[in-house]
Amino acid sequence: MPAGEKKESSHEKPKLSDFKLLRTLGTGSFGRVHLTQSKHNNRFYALKVLKKSEIVRLRQIEHTNSEREVLIHITQPFIVNLWDTFQDDANLYMVMDYVPGGELFTLLRKSKRFSDDLARFYAGEVLLALAYLHSKDFVYRDLKPENLLLDADGHIKITDFGFAKYVPDITWTLCGTPDYLAPEIIQSKGYGKAVDYWSLGVLIYEMLAGYPPFYDESQFKLYEKIVMSKPKFPSFFNPAAVDLLQHLLTADLSSRYGNLRRGSRDVFEHEWFAPIDFEQLAQRKIKPPYTPKISGDGDASNFEKYDELKNPYGIAQADPFRKYFPNF
């Protein structure tokens, strides 16, 4: 892990009793995210709760610890902020920014597909976040519309760093979402930051078309299509977008943008991005083309409703797994 300012200091850890749990915002394979309100400052937070026994059963100890370590080391306007972590006998807790605008995925499904301007704005903010992560030798590995939240103004916040990893050179782990996996991951080759540029290509394509570039009911056939990497471009695609996507969605690492001598500059300076002033965008000075409907702090109407848990957290019990999560 690189040296850098850690966010936490030797302060007193928060506890579950410091928060009012209001409702579920999302669920995952070993936990859920709740909208909570601090009893101390009345601010709203997203509280990610992960069940230790499930993390261990699903062999996700390394990923879980890595998510915390990556988020502790980064501060960037388009990445969700981690405030603190703590644990009790059964669960790990991550106190994060509450981002009230909902998932980009939801907006994309409602809109069917985005205009070039809308897609370019979101892709530009994502590109700035990826370039920042890569500058610190972190690979994100899970770019998809479900992991992009919209803040109250309509700016992107990347969330879910469960697959993010410090990778100064290459790594070998198979992880990510099938539709978004780069060919080199599927082929079990050592890979690095270039996988995030492939996923950026998939994201831009899906925003412009309303569906991903590679699709098949069969996962094996989906992987075959990805490795072949010959996406079909709809006739309504802007030629500049097609050119950029051909340079991102290529299995040939010696020609994939983001992986060449000029690094991310090949993407930043591509003609499809020409209408964007990236310095203004980086300072959040460009007005987002879409503003989520939000009625006050703590409004969660942009998130799906979930059945709430019957079993409360924080019950004292045996804790055989604490040793695996020493930093929480």
Tell me which residue has tokens 């599927």: 186
d(CA 151, CA 113): 20
d(CA 326, CA 322): 7
d(CA 28, CA 64): 13
Ramachandran angles phi, psi of 267, nearest 5°:
-80, -50
Name the residues annotated as catalytic.
142
Do the beta carbons of residue 176 and residue 142 sit within 8 Å? yes
**One-letter identity of residue 216:** D
Beta bridge partners of 96: 46, 82
Distances (CA, A) of 257 to 152, 197, 222: 32, 7, 23
Tokens of 265: 């500059």
Ramachandran angles phi, psi of 201, nearest 5°:
-60, -45
Tokens of 48: 């990610």
